[in-house]
Amino acid sequence: MRGRATRVLDASAIAAIVSATGVDRMYELAVERLTAVLTEHAAGTVDLRERDGFVLESPHRGLLEWMPAVRHGSSVSLKAVGYNPHNPAKYALPTILSSISLFDAATGHLRTVMDGTFATALRTGSASAIATRLLASPDARVLGLVGCGAQAVTQLHALARTIDVREVLVSDIDPEAERSFARRARDAGRLVRVASLEEVEERADVLCTATSVGVGEGPVIDGGRLKPGIHINCVGSDMPGKYELPLSTLRGSVVCPDHPAQAMREGECRQLAAEEIGPSLSDLLLAPERAKPLRSVPTVYDSTGLALQDLAMAELFSELSQTLGVGDDVTIESSAGDPRDPYAFLETAA
Amino acid sequence: MRGRATRVLDASAIAAIVSATGVDRMYELAVERLTAVLTEHAAGTVDLRERDGFVLESPHRGLLEWMPAVRHGSSVSLKAVGYNPHNPAKYALPTILSSISLFDAATGHLRTVMDGTFATALRTGSASAIATRLLASPDARVLGLVGCGAQAVTQLHALARTIDVREVLVSDIDPEAERSFARRARDAGRLVRVASLEEVEERADVLCTATSVGVGEGPVIDGGRLKPGIHINCVGSDMPGKYELPLSTLRGSVVCPDHPAQAMREGECRQLAAEEIGPSLSDLLLAPERAKPLRSVPTVYDSTGLALQDLAMAELFSELSQTLGVGDDVTIESSAGDPRDPYAFLETAA
């Protein structure tokens, strides 16, 4: 028996894939793959577990979570995500560190280990784009962004491929994040203007909240000035007890979660009773006629992030890495010699 | 920000660690670490989730499982295990493929990715040794092994460090596995004799069942001929619906699981009601006076395998790899440039 290779896709390999493919094309592919995997879920060919994890209190308060999903007959993905808000200041590391392992469903072999950062940003933005296409008015022109971090950039880029964005109004409690946003938005930066939170709320046709608001410090908008046809993508859910939207806004909107059970544990839906929650994104993709009448009323996409979305992204990057010949192969799993001899690998290695 | 290294410990790195440390010393270290982590569980400094996974029906029937554990303030481990009995015949791969990811609890950084095969064998054998020290008669001399695969070898080696083994009687439905066992047992092979299942049951002071019996095809022993002070380590639990011991043997024994809830889902304990289950291995380690009177009555250690044990092994191998300078470092997680810029890594990589 010979060991099988595991392809390692580090940040530079991901960069090579994205550069060779083009950022625009990556968003297109992501929307295609996510649409497919979310509709396949109903057919039972893919499955997932809700996110689970450990709350870490020591040495700092943080989270370490895992997100498993399966495409039967093909692959199993397991994303690990660390959420540690102290990282930038204390360790010169990003708040979120993430990796995805992709296994062969036929053999259990670890096929790919990849950085999960960009894949997560891409799928979160693309999922919002799918929700926005279904739930926002086709006449939407003004995009509001509350929170100007990395997620706001990918929300903007994904949504600009979905609606005809003419103006982007941004607000953040950190003036430096506001100031640097247009630059980070690349080409779309010409549409960006820093605005007061009031103006963002009043003028946005589509709003995205993607903040690091602390537990007990939300909501991040007032909600009283929103347009009657507003669509909100609420993507900031990450820590237990964190909310971005006021209850009144949720109660006055049709709230569509990515995954009802997970959103009731982690998302804005925690503020609602089960009967107050609307159709899921998968429901709407399977019955788009249910979405159409919602385009003229307030809607919220409660985005908690699904393991299924990570599966689709891991498959996409893994396929692109094969096509493009990108990444390094290592042999991690022991498969040396006699499977009945637990020490066979000692001799093979020596 | 600079990306942090992830140490990759493939089978040859594990071999280098085991060779440099010595197999005997590895068992000693494993018993020490497992004893520590199992007793720490009661203090709340370590925690685990029960094993969960996907049952795969396509293209073949198999399992892909994950096992998370945490040492608060230190590390989080996530073992992935594939169990695919068709692997040897169809793919020239072992039935079990396994890898362990070890994360820094302070930052969420993926510190180590390692082959999990030998670590799993080592911890399973060592956990049986701990149970045997607590529950078997100190006069035990005859070890019986039902099932002569890789697990039987590590059970033998771990137990030979715990009890004064004078004779090893082995039985397997596959004559080739029986014949080759003495060779695979290395030095302990001189004690090994192939025997009928009847003789193994009648003469064993300590018995280990580690079989690949099919679902619905168990139990693997009759149970009617066992000695009155028998201690059985039952380690074959892996597939739903698989049993190794007859109900009468379980009912006539004090059954000590590694983890009561998991054993009631996956182990021999599925055959029992909650009130029929005895103290766990952790309970016995914390109160060894409860174990002493059990040494003269029939006892069963129901071994399902704990994520906590994998955490202890991942920590051990990770530490040894640092001390010995073994393994290759790769940088998997993106941490390039501006954390507010989702494309910063594109420029850093280019």
Beta carbons of A11 and B348 less than 8 angstroms apart: yes
Amino acid B118: pLDDT: 93
A273 exposure class (CB count in 10 Å sphere: 0-12, 13-18, 19+): exposed
| Closest in B96, B330, B333 to A117, CB measured | B333
| Per-chain mean pLDDT for chain A | 94
pLDDT digits (tens, 9 = 90+) for A288-338: 999 999 999 999 999 999 999 999 999 999 999 999 999 999 989 887 678
Three-state DSSP state, A13: helix
> Which residue from B minimizes the CA distance to A109?
B97
Q: Is the pLDDT of residue A166 over 90?
A: yes
Name the strand (E) or helix (H) holding A320: helix A307-324
Q: Residues of chain A with pLDDT > 70: what percent?
A: 98
Q: Which two tokens stand for residue A350?
A: 């020596």
Higher pLDDT, B214 or A115: A115
Please answer yes or no on whether A332 and B150 come within 8 Å at the CB atom. no
pLDDT digits (tens, 9 = 90+) for A200-216: 999 999 999 999 888 88
Of the residues A14, A181, A340, the best mutation for testing chain B's interface (the one with the most B CB atoms within 10 Å of its CB) is A340
Cα–Cα distance measured from residue A146 to residue B88, given in angstroms and rounded to the nearest whole number: 54
Q: Which two tokens stand for residue A197?
A: 């939170």
Q: Is the pLDDT of residue B39 over 90?
A: yes
> Which residue from A minimizes the CA distance to B112?
A332
Pairing of strands B254-257, B299-302: parallel
| Closest in B12, B109, B334 to A11, CB measured | B334
B97 φ, ψ (degrees, to nearest 5): -120, 140
Please answer yes or no on whether B343 and A23 come within 8 Å at the CB atom. yes
Sign of the CA dihedral with B25 first, then B31, B34, and B37 last: negative
Cβ-Cβ contacts under 8 Å, A2 against chain B: 92
Burial code (b: 16+ CB inside 10 Å, e: under 16) for B61-74 equals: ebbbbbbbbbbbeb
> Shortest Cα distance from B292 to chain A (angstroms)?
32
Cβ-Cβ contacts under 8 Å, A192 against chain B: none
| Closest in B1, B82, B121 to A107, CB measured | B82
Cα–Cα distance measured from residue A242 to residue A346, given in angstroms and rounded to the nearest whole number: 50
Confidence grade of residue B101 (pLDDT, cut at 50, 70, 90): very high
Please answer yes or no on whether B10 and A88 come within 8 Å at the CB atom. no
Cβ-Cβ contacts under 8 Å, A110 against chain B: 80, 97, 99
B236 φ, ψ (degrees, to nearest 5): -85, 0
Cβ-Cβ contacts under 8 Å, B118 against chain A: 334, 342, 345
Q: What is the mean pLDDT of residues B295-306?
A: 97
> Which residue from B minimizes the CA distance to A1?
B92
Q: Which two tokens stand for residue B276?
A: 């029929």
Amino acid at A32: E
Among A126, A168, A174, smallest CA distance to A149 is for A174
Q: What is the mean pLDDT of residues A69-73?
A: 97
Amino acid B216: pLDDT: 87
Crossing angle for the helix pair A307-324 and A11-21, nearest 10 degrees? 80
CA angle centred on A289, ends A283 and A291, rounded to 5°: 65
